[in-house]
Amino acid sequence: MSAEIRLAGLVLALLAGLPVGAAAQSNIVIVNTNAAGVGFNDTTPATPVAGNPGTTLGAQRLFVFQKAAEQWGRLLNSAVDIRVQAQMAAQTCGAGGTVLGSAGPIALASNFPGAPRIDTAYHIAHANALAGQDLAPGQNDINTTFNVSLDSGCSPNITGWWYGTDPTVPVPAGRLALLPVVFHELGHGLGFSAQTNLANGSYFSSSPPVWTSHLYDLETAKHWRSMSNAERVASAVNDPDLVWSGDETNRHTSRFLSGEPAVIVTAPGNLAGAYGPVQTASFGPPLPAQGLSGTLAAAEPALACAPLTNPAAVAGRVALVDRGTCTFVEKVAFAQQAGAIAVLVANNEPSGLPGMGGASGDIVIPSLGISQALGASLRTALPAPGVELTLGIPPGAPLAGTRQGCMRMFAPNPVQQGSSVSHFTSDAFPNLLMEPALTGSIFDRVDLTLELFRDIGWSTNRDEILLYGSFDPAPCAISPLP
């Protein structure tokens, strides 16, 4: 069979923490495409910071990239160099949303020597690894861009990238760590993307991408590979029924996910109980493992789009605010300024939950989105007799981000081009590296992504592999297509 190599059209955008060890299992070569003086070549002097010895801005950026590349190089096995074409350039940035970075494979290949599945397209870096030879000699394998404008303060609440690489040094307020963003984006380029046009359901290759043998719709009981184009378009927004079929991923979910968080009301008695689901935020710290308990206080004004007028009532308490008018980050920032220890954002429409998206390095308290009904119910007990609650995980809760034992994929409605389907669900808790928005809790770990890579055929290398067999049988009954 002759090898088929095609250009890939998709780059995946990331809107909005990896230790380092033994000899490389693959060699990831960074091909710096920035012009002299800009991006990775910026000669602005810089002071070495948190594990990063670079003395210019460009050198520090490149050092972070090299760290992320070395980390993937240790985790994935390939005899063929993986060539990553990289640049820092201006990307979408501002109050309407900020793209941190984007990446995708430069080509896809199918029916190459050693291909595990026939008539199935693989990211070129993966295909090279499987073939044991460079299927596209002289060509780069992954294209990736990071938003250089972040360093000029283009995004609200973010003053710039953090170029530290030492995971023991906290990321300073106002900064966003570049390392996990590079690590995430390289994940897309190495194999973590569906390579399907979500507007019309067609593939970016003449053969179905390997992902379509694993993307499964619980409602229609079909894999994407068995669907028509129109069925794939519908399935891409069929949350929460779009799941991953693959034993490696599904039998390891319990290692990385905990039960679904909820609002657990302990008083007054007539409201007592666990209320879920809730939406965790893409910014600020995660809930502490033991949960966070406190007394509820209604913020004034309820929208919390300006400094609160009742800080004495909110200080030391969980603030209840309403969705609307300003961003989630702004609401939580005003509540934090008033001394709140956490924030509940009640929805302003009857169905669903507030999205709780956004990015900020200044938020140091956790926040959750709750339903409009729960918000109204809690307000009936404010200010008297008062509400005592815990934000945490009720005993026996199902693993957050799973359905019928299968890992859910990101399938919001409406679709998010370049993001939907090619990430784990944003409902995963604790957060995972390959969720659509990175949170501060991700710095230096790869979590469930490596298991997914094994599902699609990557040879991986990690100490935990030695622990295999000690985990439950796959809790998901769906097997991937051969």
Q: Which residues bind Zn ion (CB under 5 A)?
A: 12, 14
Give yes or no for a contact between 175 and 162, defined as CB atoms under 8 angstroms apart. yes
Q: How far is the CB of 188 from Zn ion (least distance, A)?
A: 5
The nearer residue to Zn ion, 58 or 187, going by C-beta atoms, is 187
Dist. CA 270–CA 272, nearest whole Å: 6
Task: Give me the least distance between CB of 189 and Zn ion, in Å please.
Answer: 10
Smallest distance from Zn ion to CB 242, Å: 16
Residues 265 and 271 sit within 8 Å (Cβ to Cβ): yes
Give the separation between CA 442 and CA 68, rounded to whole angstroms. 13
Which residue's beta carbon is nearest to the bound Zn ion?
14
The whole-angstrom separation of Cα 149 and Cα 100 is: 9
Q: In the bound complex, what is the minimum distance in angstroms from residue 455's beta carbon to Zn ion?
A: 18
DSSP of 239-282: TTSEEE--HHHHTTHHHH--BPPEEEEEESGGG-EEE---EE-S
Closer to Zn ion by Cβ: residue 12 or 177: 12
The least CB distance from residue 449 to Zn ion, in Å, is 11
For Zn ion, the closer CB: 5 or 14? 14
Nearer to Zn ion, 10 or 298 (CB): 10
Which token pair is 63? 């050092």
> Hey, CA dihedral for 155, 156, 160, 161, is it positive or negative?
negative
Smaller CB distance to Zn ion: residue 12 or 59? 12
Judge contact between 365 and 332, C-beta under 8 A.
Answer: yes
Minimum distance of Zn ion from residue 388's CB (angstroms): 39
> Crossing angle for the helix pair 57-75 and 178-190, nearest 10 degrees?
50
Closest approach, Cβ 219 to Zn ion, in A, equals: 25
Query: What is the SS3 assignment for 215?
Result: strand
∠ CA 344-286-434, rounded to 5°: 115
Task: Find, among 107, 167, 129, the residue nearest to 26 by Cα.
Answer: 129
Nearest distance from C-beta of residue 185 to Zn ion, angstroms: 7
d(CA 70, CA 452): 20
* Beta strands, E only, 59-116: 82-89, 99-105, 107-110
Sheet holding 242-244, edge to edge: 222-223, 215-217, 242-244
Q: Report the run of H or E that residue 235 belongs to, with start and end.
A: helix 229-235
Strands 99-105 and 4-7: unpaired
Shortest spacing between CB 438 and Zn ion, in angstroms: 8
> Which residue, 12 or 28, is less far from Zn ion as judged by CB?
12
Of 12 and 335, the one with the shorter C-beta distance to Zn ion is 12
- What is the C-alpha separation between 426 and 423, in angstroms, rounded? 8
Report the residue number, 235 or 449, with the smaller CB distance to Zn ion.
449
| Shortest CB 194 distance to Zn ion, Å | 12
With respect to Zn ion, which residue has the nearer C-beta, 73 or 180? Answer: 180
The CA distance from 212 to 409, in Å, is: 12
Q: Which is nearer to Zn ion, 144 or 245 (CB)?
A: 144
